Amino acid sequence: MGFAGATTAAIAQRAGISQPYVFRFFPTKKELSLAVVDRCVGQLLDDWERVVPGTDESRLQALGRAYVEALPSRRTQLLVQLHAYAAAADPGMAEAMRHHLARIYRYIVLQARRDGSADPHADAASFLSRGFLINAAMAIGLESALTPEEWGGICAKVEVARVEDRKEHPAA
């Protein structure tokens, strides 16, 4: 449905509150949408702050592992981010997504530097590229159309977040 198709009445119902109560905190649907995106990205970065690399695991490997392991329970957040990119024709949403993607990129660059990367910007770009591919694949169920070997080339954790999991954890 995306941000444009969502109604504040449906959002309020899902949250278990009244529509006027939603408007008490968010005067417009756009402000509500921006707050939802901000919360999703904030949760990602908060979760990454708590990630501890395992033995012989770089910080970037640990962040990637933690992200992939959380995908089945974070499908709604993934879809929120994808809808936000799709809504970027709106200047306010585009500005918010530039801000958030810059925060994520800078955080990854910092972790790559801490790992001793010779080129932390290139490593961050590679990390984000794979993340975007995983996000797009998960959104459309690509992992269920590929063999385990093919999917393993995209996402090392073969048994996580397959289409079957969506039946147990439907998106909002």
What pLDDT, in 10s, does the model give residues 55-68?
999 999 999 988 88
pTM of the entire predicted model: 0.81
Q: Tell me, which fold does domain 29-168 have in CATH? A: Tetracycline Repressor; domain 2 (1.10.357)
Tokens linked to 151: 């999917």
Would you state the pLDDT for residue 149? Answer: 87
Residue ranges of domains in the chain? 29-168
Tokens linked to 5: 């198709």
Q: Do 18 and 78 meet the contact criterion of CB atoms below 8 Å apart?
A: no
Would you state the pLDDT for residue 20? Answer: 82
What are the pLDDT digits (tens) for 114-140?
Answer: 999 999 999 999 999 999 998 888 888
Q: Which of residues 121 and 22 earns the better pLDDT score?
A: 121
Q: Single out the residue of 112, 117, 161, 107 nearest to residue 139, CA to CA.
A: 161
Would you state the pLDDT for residue 52? Answer: 92
Side-chain-side CA neighbours of 142 within 13 Å: the count stands at 14
What are the pLDDT digits (tens) for 72-90?
Answer: 788 788 888 888 898 889 9
